[in-house]
Structure 1
Amino acid sequence: MVNATEVIRARLSLRRPTGGQVELLLCRPIDGGVRDARVWSGLARPASAFKRGRTVLAADGTELIAGERLGEQVTVRSKAPLWQLMQSHGEVPLPPYIRRPDGPKQGDVGDYQTLFAKEPGAVAAPTASLHFTERVLGALDARDVKRASLVLHVGPGTFVPVRNEHAEDIREHVMHGEWYDIPEETVLAIEATKARGGRVIGVGTTSVRAMESWSKTGNACGEATLFIYPGYEFGVIDGMITNFHLPRSTLLMMVSAFAGRDLIIAAYEEAVREGYRFFSYGDAMLLL
């Protein structure tokens, strides 16, 4: 099961009318789809530049007017859909731990996109899928391994760790919502696989989160706010392919919930000992 979300050029370098530089990460369209929305929510730096009613300017002169705040995010609106501005002046929002001292590279646009990407809307890639190439897919086809897809638009919350004040009770951590959609043909493929005694393998934590959200709510489309941590009983997946994650991340808690904390710790110790690569462009493991 793969996630067909596509990473959008969501990071915009903007300026105040006085000339000061600001940055905006567009996270979600508010008044329409990705291609036609004029109002977006996003993360701003510095946030003070986006007080309600203030204007910031893009490189092509496009005006963005700050609106109300939605929690940690700001909203901005423009006279025209922001999609074209993103395509012409936006950058791929690489994870915060990938630094580009000389600025973004042109190759980031393709390198940080999976083979399955079809539905634009994510601000982070479902990176477990980066391991899949045409050669790998051909080998899977030769073994009659079936594939199906869903969409979960990965948001910035995927990088938010559990705070120290929640260490005693991680259930207090609030998950950021992410929109997901599991098509009817994918639902039928899952049900048929289960009926014949097959296994459903989630490629990446995002695919797992979407399927388990469907399992718990009965909704094949909606907002995924499910927090999976040790003690959780999985309702759909029988295995997952996942990268090695950051400490204190909710992703690490999800894989610990599936495989058990002791086994995950042992796997990470082995990875460190053998020099495996961690995080977005790192190595992966198969959990069964």
Structure 2
Amino acid sequence: MTTPDPRQLSIHDFTYPLPAERIAPEPLPDRAASRLLLSRHGHIADKQFRDLPGELPPGALLVFNDTRVVRARLLARRPTGGQVELFCLEPVAPHRSLELALQQTNHATWRCLVGNGRRWKEGPVTLEFTTADGQTATLTAVRQTQEAGTALIDFSWEPAELPFAEVLRAAGHLPLPPYIDRPDTAADAVRYQTVYAATEGAVAAPTAGLHFTPEILAELQEKGFEIGHVTLHVGAGTFQPVKADRMAEHPMHTEPILVTAALLRQLLAHRPRPVIAVGTTSLRTLETLYWLGVGLLKEPAARHAELLVTQWQPYDWADEAASITAETALTALLKHLEQRGTDTLEARTQLLIAPGYRFRLIDGLITNFHQPESTLLLLVAALLGPGWRQVYEHALAHGYRFLSYGDSSLLLP
């Protein structure tokens, strides 16, 4: 059987009818009350999410994405009173590192999506807000260059000693997905975060994790399952529609990842027992680790450059990587960290996982139900093969709720 070249795939072959009423607009009051579709070796069963600990492969390691969603939507006013929405996507200056940018005081430049910007001709827009300790504060935004549907926005604020993270917490709104067409609420501030969220930087939640409760996490550990954490700061590109006829013409978004040496050692010690990714972002991070290791082995000079896995790199390197095991790749990453004297791997990933991809580190996936003609659905199709259609047809026929606030699935190919 010929392995498909994902560059030649048409996204139109990965679609299904999704009625608007099947998209969950609100979270359930109880996180664990969601349903769980179990697909094990092609056989489908209907469960509740609370059943998860009893359905996982024995001895599995579950890897969670601990990113925390920032309140990245800012609703500012023009001098004439009209509203302008600024959606902060990524920092540009004086820091490109999210961690440093969120601690920046006084001023910063971010790349933003601008809503209702046609009437914002020139000059600043402002936003008045109240800080956590009750101070009156003001944020001022000036638009600089416009490019590729985004704009560079210079922010300044008073009191100047506030970190930008505090500005966003006090003045911003949660960036709910575009298909949830309503303002964010106080309930979203709790429910659009996982209970284990730790590292600020995402503009969209790793929604597979929204179903977990402290009680379920405790039960997993009581039953002997291992738990690990990675960080991928989910970008707005996760909702970017595929407009190209062929995937070769679709530019995949790039997202930053943080992985500790402890997690790399945990993965090495765990092999060959199963690894289950909690969410597509955890899966992409884990698979990225393999290709980062391959890159260090293949091109030693890359040790001094930014670590990045590009969109098509795994497919271009497939033949050369055939002899490189996951253990060898992870060991190369650990050696890289030791040589640099750090315990944290910082990298970026543009990895597109589509049919034709060979998985190296994961054995299963916990995930919600994704939009038709999306890169996330391509990932599911890569994992399940043509059986992805059976899973989605079953979910539609049996009343499952879809997308970010919808139900869950455990996919064990």
TM-score by length of 2: 0.65
d(CA) in 2 for partners of 1:98, 1:175: 23
d(CA) in 2 for partners of 1:149, 1:50: 42
Which runs of 5 or more structure 2 residues have no equivalent in the other structure?
A: 1-62, 130-137, 158-162, 294-306, 308-344
d(CA) in 2 for partners of 1:184, 1:263: 36
Aligned match of 1:90:
172
The size of the alignment, in residue pairs, is 279
Aligned match of 1:237:
362
Aligned match of 1:186:
263
Q: Secondary structure at the match of 2:186?
A: coil
Cα deviations by residue, 1:91-140 (Å, 9 ceiling, x for unpaired): 1111111122xx33111111100012000000100000011111211221
Aligned match of 1:109:
189
Q: Is residue 176 from structure 1 mapped to residue 253 from structure 2 by the alignment?
A: yes
Aligned match of 1:286:
410
Rate the CA distance shift 1:138–1:83 in 2: closer, same or farther, 3 A. closer
Letter in 2 for 1:36: Q
- Give the Å deviation of 1:15: 1.2
Cα deviations by residue, 1:77-102 (Å, 9 ceiling, x for unpaired): 223453332121211111111122xx
Pick aligned residue for 1:249 from 374, 394, 397: 374
Tell which has more relative contact order, 1 or 2 (C-alpha 8 A, sep 6+).
2
Aligned match of 1:41:
111
Letter in 2 for 1:217: L
Matches within 5 A, 1:65-84: 65-80=142-157, 81-84=163-166
Which runs of 5 or more structure 1 residues have no equivalent in the other structure?
A: none
d(CA) in 1 for partners of 2:141, 2:194: 31
d(CA) in 1 for partners of 2:165, 2:198: 16
Aligned match of 2:128:
59
d(CA) in 2 for partners of 1:284, 1:171: 30
Matches within 5 A, 1:135-284: 135-163=215-243, 166-167=244-245, 169-194=246-271, 197-218=272-293, 219=307, 220-260=345-385, 262-284=386-408
Rate the CA distance shift 1:23–1:147 in 2: closer, same or farther, 3 A. same
Aligned match of 2:310:
none
Identity %: 40
Pick aligned residue for 1:24 from 86, 94, 105: 86
- Give the Å deviation of 1:149: 0.4
Q: Secondary structure at the match of 1:148?
A: strand
Q: Answer whether contact 1:180 1:221 (CA < 8 A) is retained.
A: yes
Cα deviations by residue, 1:23-65 (Å, 9 ceiling, x for unpaired): 01112222232422322111111344567x6311113442111
Aligned match of 2:68:
6
- Give the Å deviation of 1:68: 2.4
d(CA) in 2 for partners of 1:65, 1:176: 26
Q: Secondary structure at the match of 1:135?
A: helix
Q: Answer whether contact 2:279 2:365 (CA < 8 A) is retained.
A: yes
Q: Secondary structure at the match of 1:130?
A: helix
Q: Answer whether contact 2:208 2:368 (CA < 8 A) is retained.
A: yes
Larger Cα Rg: Structure 1 or Structure 2?
A: 2
d(CA) in 1 for partners of 2:379, 2:184: 31
Q: Secondary structure at the match of 2:128?
A: coil
Letter in 1 for 2:277: G
TM-score by length of 1: 0.91
Q: Answer whether contact 2:67 2:202 (CA < 8 A) is retained.
A: yes
Q: Answer whether contact 1:9 1:87 (CA < 8 A) is retained.
A: yes
Letter in 1 for 2:403: F
- Give the Å deviation of 1:70: 4.9
d(CA) in 1 for partners of 2:268, 2:119: 50
Q: Answer whether contact 2:84 2:120 (CA < 8 A) is retained.
A: no
Q: Answer whether contact 1:41 1:70 (CA < 8 A) is retained.
A: no
Q: Is residue 120 from structure 1 mapped to residue 195 from structure 2 by the alignment?
A: no
Cα deviations by residue, 1:198-240 (Å, 9 ceiling, x for unpaired): 1111100001111112212335421211111110111211111
Letter in 2 for 1:282: G
Q: Secondary structure at the match of 2:102?
A: coil
Letter in 2 for 1:86: L
Q: Answer whether contact 2:78 2:120 (CA < 8 A) is retained.
A: no
